[in-house]
A and B are shown apart, each in its own frame.
Chain A
Amino acid sequence: MNTKLKAKLAKYLIAIGDDELVLAHRDSEWCGHAPILEEDIAFANISLDEIGHARLWYEIAAELLGEDKATYPDQLAFFRSASQFHSIQMNSLPNGDWAFTMLRQFLFDSAEVPRLEGLVESSHKPLAEAAVKIRNEEIYHLRHTSAWVKRLGLGTEESNRRMQVALDELWSYAQQLFLPIDGEVDLVAAGLVPDSAEIKSAWLESVVPSLEQADLIIPDEGPPPRDRSVQTQHLAHLITEMQSVARLEPQGRW
């Protein structure tokens, strides 16, 4: 792989790593507040899994960029400003209620699975190997969130109403998942990553029937999604909080 292509792949991995990390932080905010103890534990596990996925993607990016695999992930997570993150906007939105949180996780996981199916076939071996491991965890996440979407959608009038409100807000944000990441064309041509358009069609095939079976109405896609360089105002607050401890002692060993 030439240096240019390596840099593009690293950028792609940092972007999808950022998606994981930002969502993981939002998920972690439920720790101690989820509806019941069992769900609190389950959702904290999911949050930890997502942090682990971010670390894996950052580590592979580090190797591609000739950076230190041991320290680079922490540099990316704790010492960049919000404007340097390339996560999708959806993942930085405040948690709202449980319906919003579960639906966001469901929409995200449903895109993760086809993306990982593609990455498992990547011509970059370390990436393909990491994808195998992550896919296994995402299959379980999706099972968990699918179960919640179904129960909340079909539960009571109130739970259905909350789910529909969440879906109406999240649907257009979710489209950003399928906006090609910078340099993606070359990466797809080299067999390194899957085409975002294919991820989107797989996503639609799985989420539309699930949501309709949960008695929810699919909204319009809305305006075209924003580029990943444009962040919500919420991300800056999230990043400040997430980095506050690490920045107290930048050289510290935790």
Chain B
Amino acid sequence: MTDTQWPRFMVFQQSELDEPFVHNGTVHAPDPEMALMNARDVYYRRPKAEAMWVVPAESIFSVTLEEQTSKEWQQEAEGAGIEKEFHVFAKFSHQGQCEQIGIVSANSHEAAMRLAIETYTDKQVLWWWVFPSDAVMASEAEDTSSMYDPSLEFDYKSQAAYPVVTMMRQIHAKGKLEE
């Protein structure tokens, strides 16, 4: 068998309109539109989403705290090219999620990263992500209702709230079901 795994997309969720987007997890999908739907289905059980982004994992350039001063990627930041907008995300603690902190304009991922690190010097960051704005597939405002509202009405019960195990024991005890 060949590898049939689809490309990986990073999923970002915005819980309130004035809050930053936060990295939620990953999904596999054949294309961005399907990625957005898969993301909704895998993550929408966390209520209060206002919007979701999916970004191809390969569009994200990542630098850790240790790599921050490395010459290797900084050399790549010197190239020429057309400037475009990059989103800057950062992770501040091991428990925390990577969250949106700003936007920079640059001509490459590496240049955007250097600019991000220079711009947000007041922050102690464990790792940085940058990706071009045009790599984002965002859910539309008019989709909010059909994509996220249904989850608000679901009951979230612990499995312990269902007496299924007890019921099955009683049924077994009566010998109604083959083991």
**Residues of A near any B CB (own CB < 8 A):** 36-39, 41-42, 45, 49, 133, 136-137, 139-140, 143-144, 147, 151, 248-249, 252-254
Contacts and interface: CB of A to CB of B under 8 A. Distances in A.
Given A253-B163, A254-B163, A254-B164, A38 B177 contact: no
A165 B119 CA distance: 58
A41 B43 CA distance: 10
A253 B145 contact: no
Contact of A143 (B145, B146, B177): B146
25 contacts: A36-B6, A37-B28, A38-B27, A38-B41, A41-B38, A41-B41, A41-B42, A42-B41, A42-B42, A45-B41, A133-B150, A133-B153, A139-B146, A140-B150, A143-B37, A144-B37, A147-B37, A248-B171, A248-B176, A249-B167, A252-B171, A253-B163, A254-B162, A254-B164, A254-B167
Contacts, number: 57
B46 to A, nearest CB: 13
If over half of A's interface residues share one DSSP class (helix, strand or loop), that class is named, otherwise mixed; here it is helix
A144 B40 CA distance: 11
A136 B153 CA distance: 12
Interface in B43-100: none
Contacts of B37: 42, 143-144, 147
Given A151-B30, A254-B163, A254-B167, A39 B38 contact: yes
Interface in B130-179: 145-147, 149-150, 153, 162-164, 167, 170-171, 176-177
Most buried by B among A49, A137, A143: A143
Contact of B29 (A38, A41, A140, A248): A38
A235 to B, nearest CB: 24
Nearest to A155: B30
Contacts of A254: 162-164, 167
Interface of B: 6, 27-30, 33-34, 37-38, 40-42, 145-147, 149-150, 153, 162-164, 167, 170-171, 176-177
B38 A42 contact: yes
A151 B146 CA distance: 22
Contacts of A37: 28
- List the 6 closest A-B pairs by CB distance, nearest first: A42-B41, A38-B38, A139-B146, A140-B146, A252-B167, A38-B27
Contacts of A151: 30, 34
Contacts of B153: 133
A136 B146 contact: yes
B28 A137 contact: no
B34 A147 contact: yes
A253 B167 contact: yes
B51 to A, nearest CB: 15
Contacts of A39: 38
B136 to A, nearest CB: 19
B34 to A, nearest CB: 6
A252 B38 CA distance: 36
Contacts of B170: 249, 252
Most buried by A among B30, B146, B164: B146
A49 B150 contact: yes
B150 A136 contact: yes
Contacts of A144: 37, 41
Given A147-B37, A151-B34, 17 more contacts: A36-B6, A38-B27, A38-B29, A38-B38, A39-B38, A41-B38, A42-B37, A136-B149, A140-B147, A140-B150, A144-B41, A147-B33, A151-B30, A248-B171, A249-B170, A252-B167, A252-B170
A126 to B, nearest CB: 16
Nearest to B176: A248
A38 B8 CA distance: 11
Given A143-B37, A248-B176, A254-B163, A38 B42 contact: yes
Nearest to B151: A45
A147 B36 CA distance: 11
Contacts of B30: 151
A151 to B, nearest CB: 7
